[in-house]
Every structure is written in C-alpha cells, then in structure tokens.
Amino acid sequence: MYEFRYHRPGTLEDAEKAFSKGDDPLFLAGGQTTLPVMKQRLASPSDLIDLVRIPELRGISLKQDTLTIGAMTCHEDVARSADVKSALPALAGLAGDIGDPAVRSRGTLGGSIANNDPAADYPAALVALGASVHTPSRVIAAQDFFTGMFETALEEGEMIVKVTFPVPEYAAYAKFPNPASRYATVGVFVARTQDGIRVAVTGAGPCVFRAGEFEKALEGDFSANALDGVSISPDGLNSDLHASAAYRANLIGVMARRAVAKLS
C-alpha cells in the first residue's frame, strides 16, 4: 500500500474541505473494499478521509412509514436493529447474510452502494423498495443512483449521508451466494410497494436492474406459479468462472420464485 494522508473530520463541511484540498482523495467507510484495493495498488489515493466521526452519517430510525439508515451504519447493526427487523425484515435478513461476521462488523451501507459492485446485495433492496439516497445537497432516487458497473450518480467529492426506505407492504430477498465470498451470484429482491410490485435483480448483470416481466406477472397473481413461463434473456448478463450468462438467467427465475414463496 502506498503512503497517504489520513483525515478524520468531525463534520460534513470538514470532510468536504479535506476532499477538495487533496490531489486524489477518497472517502473511507469501513475500508472493506478500499483497503484490499489499495493493498493491491489498484488504488493509491493521496488522502483518505475517514467518515467515522461524522454524526449525520450514523444511526437508524423509523418514523411513520420511513426507515432511515445512516451511510456509516455497518451491516451487522442493520441486521440486529429492532427497527429494521420490525419494519423491513427482508432488509435485516439481507444485511445479516452479507459476507461473514467480520465483514459485517466493518462494511457499511454507504460504502456498499457507493462502490456499486455488480454482485452487492444492497442495490437490489434500494431499487425494489424505491429508496432515496441523500447527499448533503440533494436526494437521488435509487433507480437513478446506480448507473452502471461500479458507477453511481455521485459527483466527485459528493458524500452519501443516509438512505431512506419507504416501508413496503411486504418484501423478501433471495440470493444464490457465491460459496466463497457470499456475494450474490444472483440476488432478487421482491417488494409490494405503494407503486405496486417491484422486482430488482443484482449479481446477474453489470448493474442492478428491474425485471419488468416478473413485475407484470406478479401484479396479476402474487404467487411463485405466476412466474411459470416468464423468463429473462441471458443477453447482456455477466458470464464468468462462477456462472455463465444462461445459468444466471435461470437463477433469476429460481431466486424470484424463492423470494415470492417466502411471502406466500
């Protein structure tokens, strides 16, 4: 790992200031992606700006029909939160199945979605639930936030402060984990929201996407059988040593059925 300057600002303003002064700065959450990448010298930031001491980025709260989770909340805290378990058990379950206990102690919601790994779990939840990503200056709908492989709508130096999730009528997540890392080979998040049924798929393509055909089928009949005969084309899906595109396309159907079956 190359040398860098380390900052631990206590306010959003100081974090922005530190970022603007650095030659090639990077925000640091739990470091679960950033540090391995720096050790491999695939990244060599001049400055690491640790967001751990900024109060606005912390905490979980439930008010009326909105669950709010601060960007620096680690996966284990989401998994164990009484508020998340009561309002959105599918999200608590998703967080509790990320990686392993040590990764969950450090990895954060903000770090996961800022990184937008194509195999990360959270993007599916955000898109299916119609969540909003809050930065110091604006609110971005999840649908517009995830723009491509490892790409998001965040501007240079823009921080994620928190994510708000409208509480759905019901929701479930099913993933086929990579047996080594537990990242999603394919993960499908199904939710009945105020805007109807939403089905979001992660792990399968370069970026999270909604499965419109599945949504239509489930809108008419919310049962696993309703998905019989509905399939997703493997065109454009990921193909790697873990799974071919055709296998992933098949897994989308299987995981969607499993998620729906959890609810019926």
Partner 1 sequence: MVALVTPTPRPHEGAPQSAMPAISLSVNGKPVAGEYEARTLLCDLLRGPLALTGTHVGCDTSQCGACVVLIDGDPVKSCAMLAAQAEGCEITTIEGLAGDGKLHPMQEAFRDQHALQCGFCTPGMILTSVALARNNPALGEEDVAKGLEGNLCRCTGYRNIIRAVMAGAKEMAEQGDV
Ligand X SMILES: Cc1cc2nc3c(=O)[nH]c(=O)nc-3n(C[C@H](O)[C@H](O)[C@H](O)COP(=O)(O)OP(=O)(O)OC[C@H]3O[C@@H](n4cnc5c(N)ncnc54)[C@H](O)[C@@H]3O)c2cc1C
Residues in contact with ligand X by CB under 6 A are: 26-34, 51, 71, 75, 98-99, 103, 106-108, 110-112, 114-115, 120-122, 159-160, 181-183
Q: Which stretch binds partner 1 (CB under 8 A): 4-12, 83-91, 129-137, 224-232?
A: 4-12
Q: Using the CB atoms, write b or e for 183-217: b if 16+ within 10 Å.
A: bbbbbbbbbbbeeebbbbbbbbbebbbebeebbeb
Task: Report the C-alpha dihedral over residues 158, 152, 172, 242, rounded to 10 degrees.
Answer: -130
Radius of gyration of the chain (CA): 18
Does 3 bind partner 1 (CB under 8 A)? Our answer is yes
Rounded to a whole number of angstroms, the minimum distance from the CB of residue 106 to partner 1 is 6
Pick out residues in 205-264 that bind partner 1 (CB under 8 A).
none
Q: Which stretch binds partner 1 (CB under 8 A): 30-38, 60-68, 161-169, 184-192?
A: 30-38
Rounded to a whole number of angstroms, the minimum distance from the CB of residue 221 to ligand X is 31
How many Cα atoms occupy the beta-carbon half-sphere of 248 within 13 Å?
Answer: 27
Which CB sits closer to partner 1, 4 or 209?
4
Does 28 bind partner 1 (CB under 8 A)? Our answer is yes
Measured in degrees and rounded to the nearest 5, phi and psi for residue 134 equal -105, 130
Rounded to a whole number of angstroms, the minimum distance from the CB of residue 229 to ligand X is 31
Which of the listed partners (ligand X, partner 1, none) does 50 bind, with a CB threshold of 5 to 8 Å by partner kind? Answer: partner 1
Q: Which of 17, 58, 85, 182 binds partner 1 (CB under 8 A)?
A: 182
Please list, in sequence order, all residues whose beta carbon lies within 8 angstroms of the beta carbon of residue 113, skipping any fewer than 6 positions away: 120, 122, 123, 126, 133, 145, 146, 152, 160, 163
Instruction: Calculate ∠ Cα 140-141-144, nearest 5°.
Output: 90
For residues 121 and 153, give the distance between their C-alpha atoms in angstroms, rounded to a whole number: 18
Which CB sits closer to partner 1, 33 or 135?
33
Rounded to a whole number of angstroms, the minimum distance from the CB of residue 48 to partner 1 is 7
Rounded to a whole number of angstroms, the minimum distance from the CB of residue 102 to partner 1 is 5
Does 99 bind partner 1 (CB under 8 A)? Our answer is yes
Rounded to a whole number of angstroms, the minimum distance from the CB of residue 45 to ligand X is 8
Which CB sits closer to partner 1, 106 or 216?
106
Rounded to a whole number of angstroms, the minimum distance from the CB of residue 13 to partner 1 is 14
Sign (positive or negative) of CA dihedral 49, 50, 51, 55: negative
For residues 112 and 70, give the distance between their C-alpha atoms in angstroms, rounded to a whole number: 12
Q: Which residues bind partner 1 (CB under 8 A)?
A: 1-8, 18, 28, 31-32, 35-36, 38-39, 48, 50, 52, 76, 99-103, 105-106, 180, 182
